[in-house]
Structure 1
């Protein structure tokens, strides 16, 4: 085998393996999204993918913002992955009826039964679940006060698996909401954090304030 051809083949194999192993943290992902939007606005995505100038700009600007080197293949793989996720999300929000979006939790609002059915049909949808919704229905209690209105201990106790899940779900939710309330009250900087600081700085502030308690 020609030595140059063998070296080129090995280099290509190494590049592909590297692309498969690439891990995108949330901060880098958000920066990538911002940079993609910028390239689209200036016309460097004439079709379904970016042109040569667009890919070069993405790699250079991402390195400037994050200090990380990415090959065109790695960037393209992440772009294609985002497109697949969008198609799944678009299907859920446009074709399926009765769904909503929770802007606080940044998740799709749907019942546990609905998620179980959809994920069984397409396991890829698991990534959009994110939040275990409580069971709903006129005969299923959820809020903690509803479990305190019975005359006896037996009447107050959760009945069945669904109410048991709802009871602990609601209890945990109350604890989390109180914890966030105390945290936000202690650190005034959090009030307008989304206005005054970049995304990367917001992440640092959140981590630092939580670490300090």
Structure 2
């Protein structure tokens, strides 16, 4: 199945593979030789992804700082079943790392004194100068100025007990 999406002035051509063309939620070797489609992550897809990751961590624990190989397959199957998208482990790991980095920056910024976080709006009340200073310390913090961390409760469940939040990268 092919879909054209209008994104600004560009048109994105996405293809979805049927479940008969994939093995365990992953494209077969012949499909992998074709150009991979870029996934446009929306809130619904993100929520399904985070929920599935939390379920896998709760059920099967982690391997290092991420999911076990079999857990990635389960998450991929859930995304295929609920959203009709075929994703590979690299795409999921990139999204996982994106949320983990953003969560770490969010926790560090939230822990600052001065009531700079507003839980009702899920935004930080900083001046432009403060944003500039914080972004110099951690470039991911700058993203929180315009796009708040989606699903902070889910991110806390997924990353809260497993990450170090005291880093300066």
8 Å Cα contact 1:101/1:107 also seen in 2: yes
Aligned match of 1:83 in 97, 100, 117?
100
Partner of 1:112: 128
Q: Could you tell me which residue of structure 2 aligns to residue 55 of structure 1? A: 72
Q: Does 1:42 align with 2:64?
A: no
> TM-score w.r.t. structure 1 length?
0.47
If you compute each CA radius of gyration, which structure gives the higher value, 1 or 2? 1
Q: CA offset at residue 66 of structure 1?
A: 1.4
- Shift in alpha-carbon separation, 1:13–1:125, aligned structure 2, 3 A: farther
After superposition, residues 130-169 of structure 1 pair within 5 angstroms as 130=146
Q: TM-score, with normalisation over the residues of structure 2? A: 0.58
Shift of 1:44: 4.0
Higher relative contact order (CA 8 A, sep 6+): 2
CA distance in 2 between partners of 1:81 and 1:99 (Å): 26
CA distance in 2, matches of 1:120, 1:60: 39
The structure with the largest strand share of the pair is 2
CA distance in 1 between counterparts of 2:87 and 2:68 reads 16
Inter-partner Cα distance in structure 2 for 1:86 and 1:110: 18
Aligned residues: 118
* Gap change, CA 1:61 and 1:12, over 3 Å in 2: same
Over the aligned positions, Cα root-mean-square deviation in angstroms equals 2.7
Q: CA deviation at 1:76?
A: 1.0
Q: Which has the higher helix share?
A: 1
Structure 1 pair 49/120, CA: closer, same or farther in 2 (3 Å)? closer
5+ long unaligned stretches in structure 1: 1-7, 132-213
Distance 1:48 1:121, change over 3 A: closer
Q: Which runs of 5+ in 2 are unaligned?
A: 1-28, 148-169
SS at match of 2:66: coil
Aligned equivalents of 1:25, 1:69: Cα separation in 2: 15
